[in-house]
Structure 1
Amino acid sequence: MLKIGFIVNPGFQIMSLTAMTVFEFANYAGKKPVYNVQLLSEHGGPVVNSLGFSMETKALGSFAFDTFIVAGPPVPDVVPPGVLAFLGNAAKKVRRIASICTGAFALAEAGVLDGRRVTTHWVVAREMAQRYPAVKVEEDRIYIADGNVWTSAGMTAGLDLALAMLEDDCGVQIARQVARSLVMYHRRAGGQSQFSSLLEVAPKSDRIQRALTHARQNLKSVLSIEELAYVANISPRQFSRLFHAETGHTPAKAVENLRLEAARLMMEEGNHPIELIARETGFADRERMRRAFIRAFGQPPQTVKRGARDAEEA
C-alpha cells in the first residue's frame, strides 16, 4: 500500500485537502485499497486551518512514505524551520514530493525546487520567481512534474495533480473511473493554461455576454462586428463602444483571444495538425494563426504545441 502524507502548517487552506478524495476514491475503485492517506504536521495534534477550526494530525518524523504533498495557505506564509528541514530531507528519500498552490513556497524555501520547472497559483507566481531566482517558475500551467517533484496551480488544480499521480500509479482506466466518481473531466492536461479569455473579459451586461458566448460557439465563422451587434440586439457602433467600455478590449481583440485559447486547448488535448487547428478555431490559415501566437505568447504555434507535449510527458 502506498502511503500519502499531506503536510499542513497552521493557517493552511482547507481546499488543499480536496486532493485527498482522489486517493480515497481510488481505494474504492479497485479490488483492494491502494493508498494509506495521512494528515501530518510538525508536532502532530490539532492544527488550525484558515477558517479557524482545527484538524487532527500526526507528527512528522518518518520518511516511510511514497509521497508527501504540502498543502498551501491562502497567501504565502512563514514555514517553521523544522518543517523546512524535514522537506529538504524528504525530497531525497521519497518517490514523490509535491505541493498544492502556495505550498510550493515551502518547497522553494527548503531548497527542493532549485533548478526545477514548477508552477503555483498565477497570483503569486511572479513573487515566487523574484524570491527564488533558482526556481524555474511557469505561471501558466495547471501542474508540472519535474523528476520526483510535482507542483500544482490553484487549489482545484490539486485534483488534477492527484489524478495524474493516480494514473501514474494505477493506470488511466482507474484514474478515469475516479474522475467520473468525482463528476470531473478525466483531468486537465498539465500544460493547460490557468487562464480563461472569458474570465479576463468579464462583461457587465447580458448583451455583451451573449455576444461573447455566440463568438465562442462559432469561432469558425468570420464573426463581424455586425453579426455580434445583431446578437447583442444593438447597433454596431453602440456595440463597439459598449463592448470596450465593459471589457477594456475591442471586439476583434476579444475574438482573437478566444481563438487563441481554443487553439492552444486543441494543442494540449490532442495531436491535431496545425492547419486543422487554424481552420477549426477561425484563423482560416496557418500564417494568420502564427502571427497571432507570436503577438500573444512570443512563440509560434509549433513551439507552444511542443511545449504542451513535453510538459505532459515530463
Structure 2
Amino acid sequence: MNYTSLSISFRIGLAFHAMNNEGSSGTNVMEPRRISVGGHNYDGISGEMVRRHVFENLVPIAKARGLPLSPDGEGLLPDRAKRVIKAYLSGPASEVKGKDGVFELEPAHLPLVTKAALESCTITDIGGYLAAFESSEKVKGATPKRDSVFDVGWLISEEPAVVEFSQHAAYRPDGQHNLFTQNMRAAVYGGVARLDLGRIGYNDWAWLAPDRNDLHLSDEQRRQRAAALLDAWEQWLLSPAGAKQAGWLQHTGQLEGVLMLSNFGPAPFRSPIEVELRYDAEGNPLVERIKPNPRYRAELATLAEAKPGRYRALEFDDLAGLAKAFDQARAAIGL
C-alpha cells in the first residue's frame, strides 16, 4: 500500500436524536452522555458507539465480498478470538503441543495462534481481541491479544449541550401504563479517528519467530480488508448510526472534514474542537471551556504541503465531497 495510515477529522451536525445515553440511574428519565469541562456540560457520543456501528457496516461488506468471518466475529462478540484459537490448538494444523488436553502457551506460540486468528476472520483482524481463557478452558500461559487497527474518539459538541426532555407512556394490555422520559439533543459535533491500514493482516508477534516468513496475510488479502474498512467508515459518515434510532432517527446536517494520508507512521489528525484556557496574573485558571477550532483543516493541509513526500490531505465540505475524498484516498493508497 502506498500509504499505510489514514486519519479522519470532521464536523457533523446531528439533531433530534438520542444516539447515546448513560442510563436512567434508577429513575424513569433517560440521561444523555455528557462531558463536563470547566463547569459546562457538553453533549457526547462515545467512540465505542461509533466503533460498534462501523463494525455493523463492515460485516455485510465482508460477507458480500467473500472475506472470511468467524461466527463470533460476525456476531461482534468481545471474545471473538477464543473459539478460533481453541480450534486451532486442538486441530491437525496446530504447531503447539498439548499435554492431556491442556495447552501451555509460551511467548513463542503467540505468532502461531495470531496467524490462525488473522486467517479466520476479518473482524478479529481489524477489531483486535483479548483471549483471556478461564482455567476450565485448558489453555494456560501467555495471553493472546491484538490491538485494534483503528481508534475512534468521542463525538463532542462544540457548544454546551442542548437537551430537551419529553414524557412518553408505555401502555400495557391491562390498561395500565408506565411513564418514562426521553431526551432529545441537537448539536454540531467534532470527531476524530485514525486507521492504521498497514497493520491489517500483519502479525504483530512475528518478531518472536524471525525465521518464519508465512505469518502475515498476503498483500492482496490485506488490500481487500483495508478497502472494506474504508467503505464501512464512508458508509457511517454518510449515514451515521447509533442507539435509539427506530423512532428517533437523527436529522443530519452539515458535514465537513479532512482525510489525512501518511506513509510516515500513524496519520496525524487535528480536532475540530479545542479547550480554551485562560489564567489570571498568578497563573490560576479563570476559564475552561470547549469551543470550535476553525483552523483544524488548514493546519493539516499546511503540514501536507510542508511534507508532500509523507502526507496528503483530502478535504471535503459535503456528502459528495466526502465520497470523492474517499475515492481519492483509495486510489492514493492503491486499493
TM-score if structure 1 supplies the norm length? 0.30
Query: Larger Cα Rg: Structure 1 or Structure 2?
Result: 2
Which has a greater percent of helix? Answer: 1
Which protein, 1 or 2, shows the higher relative CO under an 8 Å CA cutoff with sep ≥ 6? Answer: 2
